[in-house]
């Protein structure tokens, strides 16, 4: 057994660690996400609007690795310390997962500005928009394949002791091979205004913190 920032790690059992349990949120980011040099990233175009700033597509070229298409979430200028913490909190969560149906984190840029979160690129974007745009064009086998992928991702999260709390087609991304991946691990959901807040709070307290 290893003690790890006050968390007990059981060999062979991987469990999610809530970044909130870290006194210093920066420590959580650096524990779970790789720092990327901004010079390794080429931004190509804006593909969406995130809660904290633009989402862009681009390329990542790490030394000794081949170039990868990536999505880049940026933190808009003039952010507060809390916004920075919440923004990077998503990376601290995503960086703990390793599954073909969970969006893969490449790393973060925190040492220069703009602050960025770099993930694998999903060519077909969010599932809700994609399905509406291509209504009636998929076979049942294809649709069931998408569902199986989402279910496998959610099963993995559950096995890790993580409760997503916002599973919806808009939070699933789909790539050019029609592989669906769970995304949106934001920490900033407004629980107070949520009619299901009591329920959500109860679920949250059931998260396992080892
Ligand atoms: P989010 O802030 O995660 O809700 O992202 C906002 C929008 O950006 C999404 O609805 C997608 O259209 C797009 N997007 C986010 N991440 C990716 C990604 N990894 N690949 C492609 N598009 C993405």
Instruction: Convert the pLDDT of each residue in 33-71 to its tens digit.
Output: 999 999 999 999 999 999 999 999 999 999 999 999 999
Distance in angstroms (rounded) separating the CA atoms of residues 32 and 21: 14
Query: What is the pTM for the complete model shown?
Result: 0.87
In a domain, 209, yes or no: no
The stretch 134-144 carries a mean pLDDT of: 98
pLDDT of residue 204: 41
In a domain, 206, yes or no: no
- Whether 135 is a known active-site residue: answer no
Q: Domain count for the chain, please give it.
A: 1
At how many degrees (to 10) do helices 81-94 and 25-32 cross?
30
pLDDT of residue 186: 85
In a domain, 89, yes or no: yes
Q: What share of the chain in percent tops pLDDT 90? A: 80
Whether the pLDDT of residue 207 is over 50: the answer is no
Please indicate whether residue 100 or residue 4 has the higher confidence score (pLDDT).
Answer: 100
Atom 1 in ligand 1: residue holding the nearest Cα = 50
Judge contact between 157 and 147, C-beta under 8 A: no
Which of 128, 166, 184, 193 is the catalytic position? 166
**Structural domain range at position 107:** 2-201
User: What CATH number corresponds to the domain at position 93?
Assistant: 3.30.200.20
Integer CA distances (angstroms), 135 to 124, 143, 170, 182, in order: 14, 11, 15, 21
In a domain, 207, yes or no: no
In a domain, 36, yes or no: yes
Residue of 55, 90, 167 to mutate, ligand 1, most atoms within 8 A of C-beta: 55
pLDDT of residue 192: 44
């Amino acid at each position: 057994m290893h003690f790890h920032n006050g968390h007990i790690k059981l060999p062979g059992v991987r469990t999610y660690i809530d970044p909130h349990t870290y006194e210093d949120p920066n420590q959580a980011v650096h524990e779970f996400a790789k720092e990327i040099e901004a010079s390794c990233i080429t931004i190509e175009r804006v593909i969406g609007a995130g809660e904290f700033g633009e989402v862009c597509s681009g390329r990542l070229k790490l030394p000794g690795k081949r170039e990868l298409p990536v999505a880049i979430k940026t933190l808009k200028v003039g952010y507060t310390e809390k916004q920075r913490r919440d923004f990077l909190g998503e990376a601290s969560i995503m960086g703990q997962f390793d599954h073909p149906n969970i969006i893969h984190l490449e790393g973060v840029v925190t040492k220069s500005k703009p602050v960025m979160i770099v993930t694998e690129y999903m060519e077909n974007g969010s599932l809700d928009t994609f399905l509406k745009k291509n209504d009636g064009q998929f076979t049942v086998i294809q649709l069931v394949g998408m569902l199986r992928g989402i279910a496998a991702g959610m099963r993995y999260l559950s096995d890790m002791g993580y409760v997503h709390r916002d599973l919806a087609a808009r939070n699933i991304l789909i790539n050019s091979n029609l592989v669906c991946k769970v995304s949106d691990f934001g920490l900033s959901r407004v629980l107070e205004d949520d009619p299901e807040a009591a329920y959500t709070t109860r679920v949250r307290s059931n998260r396992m913190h080892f």
